[in-house]
């Protein structure tokens, strides 16, 4: 992909559809794109396995499992078969299994979540038919793009808020560190801080802002995006002491030993 989904949407606008459903990134690649292939099935992954066993040149399989999390439609063996056969990605409106193994594969996988329970193998369903997920039609032959825009957008909101809250020239710190089974991303500012009442009652409500001329949408949307990725957004703040937002996201075992490091940025005073 040469353009992010955000840049592509800015360029082409309403001629594109955007999936508002927040799926988890579960494969080894977050960004992927390709022509659409589809399977519609319910708790039966025989057709998913058969389609992903066919050779393609960078296609993306969209699996409409009706949003069911009761059993998995993709496991590590099926995902590995997709890699061998040239698939760029798999989008599952349902569950997968073998999360750690799939996270190590060079393929994009997005899904609602995971469940170790196997699906049936009866071959019930349809292949290469238009499917509609959260109001968006996925039509075979059309092009789909996916990337990590959800996390980037959430961080963008928090960093922008931190810069606006800080005095000119004051550092805003972004810190990434492992905490048990989660990755913690902190955005720390040196601003005036917020009262406990504001944090509890107004911070995450749309159109409530402690900043002059603020719209009060950044923290609200950031929280929705983080929750949609299976994480949580925490905040620590006190008047006169600044604010620390922490995004907590679960990560695969393979990155559990990620290093603790910080990046610092200075507010643009121009």
Q: Does domain 5-146 have CATH number 3.40.50.1100?
A: no
The per-residue pLDDT for 112 is 93
Q: Does domain 149-266 have CATH number 3.40.1010.10?
A: no
Do the two domains 5-146 and 149-266 of this chain adopt the same fold? no
The per-residue pLDDT for 253 is 46
Mean predicted confidence (pLDDT) in 104-111 = 93
Model confidence at 228, pLDDT cuts 50, 70, 90, reads low
The per-residue pLDDT for 147 is 76
The per-residue pLDDT for 218 is 72
- Token duo for residue 2: 């040469």
- Mean pLDDT, the chain, rounded, equals 84
Model confidence at 211, pLDDT cuts 50, 70, 90, reads low
The per-residue pLDDT for 263 is 45
The per-residue pLDDT for 264 is 44
| Percentage of the chain exceeding pLDDT 90 | 51
Model confidence at 182, pLDDT cuts 50, 70, 90, reads confident
Residue, of 71 and 168, whose pLDDT is higher: 71
- pLDDT one-digit tens code per residue, 61-78: 999 999 999 999 999 999
Query: pTM for the full model?
Result: 0.60
Domain ranges of the chain: 5-146, 149-266
- pLDDT one-digit tens code per residue, 6-48: 777 777 777 788 887 878 888 888 778 899 999 999 999 999 9
- pLDDT one-digit tens code per residue, 124-154: 999 999 999 988 999 999 999 887 676 777 8
């Amino acid at each position: 992909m040469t353009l992010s989904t955000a840049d592509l949407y800015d360029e082409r606008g309403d001629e594109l559809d955007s999936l508002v459903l927040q799926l988890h990134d579960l494969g080894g690649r977050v960004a992927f794109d390709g022509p659409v292939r589809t399977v519609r099935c319910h708790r039966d992954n025989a057709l998913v396995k058969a389609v992903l066993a066919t050779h393609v040149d960078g296609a993306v399989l969209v699996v409409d499992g009706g949003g069911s999390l009761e059993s998995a439609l993709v496991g590590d063996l099926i995902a590995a078969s997709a890699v061998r056969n040239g698939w760029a990605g798999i989008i599952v409106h349902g569950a997968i299994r073998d999360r750690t193994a799939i996270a190590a594969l060079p393929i994009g996988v997005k899904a609602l979540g995971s469940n170790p329970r196997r699906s049936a193998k009866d071959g019930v369903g349809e292949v290469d038919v238009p499917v509609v997920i959260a109001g968006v039609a996925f039509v075979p032959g059309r092009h789909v793009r996916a990337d990590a825009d959800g996390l980037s957008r959430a961080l963008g909101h928090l960093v922008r808020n931190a810069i606006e809250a800080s005095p000119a020239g004051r550092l805003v710190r972004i810190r990434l560190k492992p905490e048990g089974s989660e990755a913690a991303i902190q955005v720390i500012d040196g601003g005036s801080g917020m009262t406990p009442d504001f944090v509890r009652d107004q911070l995450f409500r749309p159109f409530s802002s402690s900043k002059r001329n603020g719209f009060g949408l950044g923290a609200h949307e950031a929280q929705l995006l983080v929750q949609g990725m299976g994480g949580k957004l925490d905040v620590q703040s006190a008047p006169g002491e600044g604010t620390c937002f922490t995004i907590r996201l679960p990560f695969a075992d393979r990155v559990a030993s990620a290093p603790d490091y910080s990046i610092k940025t200075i507010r643009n005073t121009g």
